[in-house]
Structure 1
Amino acid sequence: MKKFQVVGIGNAMVDVLARAEDAFLADAGVQKGIMQLIDMDRAVDLYARVGPAKEVSGGSAANTIAGIAHLGGQTAYVGKVKDDQLGAIFAHDLRAQGATYETSLAPKTEEAETGRCIVIVTPDGERSMNTYLGVTEFLTADDIDDAQMADAEWIYLEGYRFDGPESHAAFAKAIAACKGAGGRVSLTLSDPFCIERHRNAFRDMVRDHVDLLFCNRAEMLSMYETEDFVAALGKSAENVPIVACTDSENGVYILSGGQRWHVPAVPTEIVDATGAGDLFAGAFLWGLTHGHALEMCGKMGNVAAAEVISHIGARPESDLKALFAAQGLL
């Protein structure tokens, strides 16, 4: 038996969550509903503009790993932070969830700082993310522990992490170590604009190495450069053993072995859409590593996503297992 059910690799960030009207986005030059990369000066300016905010450790794959740990799964995370205040917050929060976090810290002398994502939530629950990567951009193959990857049933790779000078080498090392020891690889596409920057690399990885692909409708269409959603799903299923594609209030489409399932979304009031896909993936992977059928994994993912969008922040505030039981999933 392996030590870890899932090991995640991604951008280690601290999320700065603030509410604002749509007019604020226009005034501040923020594009609604997507992730934009920003530099340190822009991060300082936006932070000053947003007013009261909530600071919590985040990052897409870290949220997924925290969700699995919340459910009692054995998890670990790899992502770079600096030996500074925000870096300490990130490490403490993740370990407090029960996840293993051992990535070496960037030294205090490093010019770049711990990454942060300023998430502006509008009244409709949509989130507009402004990301300063900081030191997390410089994750390298040296940060990947072969033994840890080999001791994982699954690794979970964050598409956002493709932005970085040595990220592809780090992913390649993790994949080789995991698959060499009989493990499997999952990938989340993260964002349509991320796909546009790295489409060929994504396609090669998906075709050659990925066993489980997570994405949403917009990412799927971007990946296969089409407006035909059904056709895009079909293409992905030709390349990947398992595909889980979320479609907002329409639920999730799961494809595997020539079969297709549609799992309706769980109705809920959207307060903050941040982390919906992250927690969907976490619950899905938890279900998968605990022997549940794919359709059931999709149901669990939808319950977790509904919970996290019902409040501010990308970490669960309710007992997910209790919610699964209430829905008859356990």
Structure 2
Amino acid sequence: MGIEIQPKINKENDTAPVAPLILGLQPSALVDHVARVDWSLLSRIPGEAGGSFPVAYEELKFILDEVNNYNISSPENTSLLKTIAGGSVANTIRGLASGFGVTCGIIGACGDDDQGSLFVDNMSFHKVDLSRLRLKSGHTGQCVCLVDELGNRTMRPCLSSAVKVQANDLTAADLKGSKWLVMRYAVFNLEVIQAAIKIAKQEGLSVSLDLASFEMVRKFKVPLLQLLESGSIDVCFANEDEAAELLRDQDNADPESALEFLAKHCQWAVVTLGPKGCIAKHGKEVVRVPAIGESKLVDATGAGDLFACGFLYGLVKGLSLEECCRIGSCSGGSVIRSLGGEVTPENWQWMYKQMQTKGLPVPDFGL
């Protein structure tokens, strides 16, 4: 079980804090090492450029050594390597807490190492509730994110030796009082995902699922379809590549067909289309919303995570489907303007300005 990080108690009246509105399930805490690189370095990294596939610790260390030895000159980059708390769910939860003022917490585990301390410090700084984060003896997950000059990323996660929260670690107390559970599909976390969904439904929470990557959909489609067809997923996010993989064996594998398929099983279905914006469906309503054209792409890391962040903010505010998508487009546009999956204060201000210009409700940090 490991040692749990104890929740903060309000000593003034000796009562437990109010449960966060939104919880994220990320079984293994993760630290991202993000660097701007060119093809001369990418050619020395094992595997194809682009996409994401897991590596062993020795491979991770080799890549980090290559990055640290690499001499890059860029006027926008004063530091060669940026290390921050990472992971898709952590990106979404941190964005909701930091940029939208939504009370959020994270369920998972981190190791008793330097990376674990960094993860805790980063998420705490952004006011994420860590009372459900277990501290266990062992290593915290790490991922190298290499960003080329076009903003495309090559990701190499190392999770094989990372500590993680297990299905039997979860209790009703982890989810009691919250309204939403945010998750990312991963077959190696399927048991804990299923356990969390079961408890979430018993406690009356709505569930959001991101399809993670086209590789994950392609290799593990059967358990994914079973999860969707269970009717337990309330919101599903897929990008264009994931949508195509979802219907690869069918005559129509376009985003619109994937949207219709997802909408049969989920209350809200969203397919993001990169620079072409997104399409979404809720009940009989279908909307198409363009991307924010004013956003300059520096690094695509976290774009989908922050889109989900804005969309979920719209849902908890009771906004229309189109408004949810438009806010998602603004928040997704904010993170791609700098390196890594964490939005800078300057880019949050950029987002608020975009929202004001488009007549969208700017966060009041009262949720």
Fold shared per TM-score above 0.5: yes
Q: Give the corresponding residue for 2:225.
A: 203
Q: Give the corresponding residue for 2:15.
A: none
Q: Give the corresponding residue for 1:327.
A: 358
Change over 3 Å in CA distance of 1:97–1:135 after alignment to 2: farther
Query: Aligned equivalents of 2:245 and 2:117: distance in 1?
Result: 36
Kindly indicate whether the alpha-carbon contact (under 8 Å) linking 2:255 and 2:271 is maintained by their aligned counterparts in 1. Answer: no
Q: 2:261 aligns with which of 213, 224, 235?
A: 235
Query: Aligned equivalents of 1:174 and 1:132: distance in 2?
Result: 24
Q: 2:52 aligns with which of 35, 38, 48?
A: 35
Q: 1:212 aligns with which of 228, 235, 257?
A: 235
Q: Does 1:54 align with 2:82?
A: yes
Query: Aligned equivalents of 1:252 and 1:223: distance in 2?
Result: 17
Change over 3 Å in CA distance of 1:101–1:322 after alignment to 2: farther
Q: 1:175 aligns with which of 188, 192, 197?
A: 197
| 1:85-134 Cα shifts (integer Å, max 9, x gaps) | 11000011111111111321121xx3xx2111100000000111100015
Deviation of 1:288 (Å) = 0.7
Query: Aligned equivalents of 2:205 and 2:101: distance in 1?
Result: 20
Deviation of 1:174 (Å) = 1.3
Q: Give the corresponding residue for 2:274.
A: 248
Q: 1:221 aligns with which of 244, 261, 271?
A: 244
| 1:232-291 Cα shifts (integer Å, max 9, x gaps) | 222222222111110100001101112210010001211000000011111111111111
Unaligned runs of 5+ in 2: 1-17, 69-79, 362-367
Q: 2:182 aligns with which of 132, 148, 156?
A: 156
Q: Does 1:67 align with 2:95?
A: yes
Q: Give the corresponding residue for 1:260.
A: 286
Kindly indicate whether the alpha-carbon contact (under 8 Å) linking 2:29 and 2:164 is maintained by their aligned counterparts in 1. Answer: no
Deviation of 1:172 (Å) = 1.9
Query: Aligned equivalents of 2:254 and 2:328: distance in 1?
Result: 25
Deviation of 1:135 (Å) = 4.9
Name the SS of the counterpart of 2:288 in structure 1: strand
Kindly indicate whether the alpha-carbon contact (under 8 Å) linking 2:303 and 2:335 is maintained by their aligned counterparts in 1. Answer: yes
What is the aligned residue count? 321
Query: Aligned equivalents of 2:356 and 2:160: distance in 1?
Result: 40
Query: Aligned equivalents of 1:246 and 1:142: distance in 2?
Result: 34
Between structure 1 and structure 2, the one with the greater Rg is 2
Query: Aligned equivalents of 1:238 and 1:22: distance in 2?
Result: 43
Query: Aligned equivalents of 1:76 and 1:182: distance in 2?
Result: 17
Query: Aligned equivalents of 1:297 and 1:287: distance in 2?
Result: 5
Query: Aligned equivalents of 1:235 and 1:216: distance in 2?
Result: 14
Is 235-244 or 301-310 further displaced after alignment? 235-244
Aligned AA (2:103): Q
Q: Give the corresponding residue for 2:157.
A: 131
Kindly indicate whether the alpha-carbon contact (under 8 Å) linking 2:41 and 2:66 is maintained by their aligned counterparts in 1. Answer: no
Query: Aligned equivalents of 2:50 and 2:274: distance in 1?
Result: 13
Deviation of 1:302 (Å) = 0.6
More helix by share: 1
Kindly indicate whether the alpha-carbon contact (under 8 Å) linking 1:81 and 1:135 is maintained by their aligned counterparts in 2. Answer: no
Q: Give the corresponding residue for 1:7.
A: 23
Query: Aligned equivalents of 1:46 and 1:78: distance in 2?
Result: 29
Aligned AA (2:235): L
Query: Aligned equivalents of 1:326 and 1:144: distance in 2?
Result: 43
Q: Give the corresponding residue for 2:122.
A: 93
Q: Give the corresponding residue for 1:18.
A: 35
| 1:203-225 Cα shifts (integer Å, max 9, x gaps) | 11112110100110101111222
Query: Aligned equivalents of 1:137 and 1:114: distance in 2?
Result: 6
Kindly indicate whether the alpha-carbon contact (under 8 Å) linking 1:82 and 1:135 is maintained by their aligned counterparts in 2. Answer: no
Deviation of 1:137 (Å) = 5.9
- Please report the TM-score for the alignment, with normalisation by the length of structure 2: 0.83
Q: Percent identity?
A: 26
Q: 2:214 aligns with which of 192, 203, 208?
A: 192
Q: 1:81 aligns with which of 110, 117, 130?
A: 110
Aligned AA (1:4): P
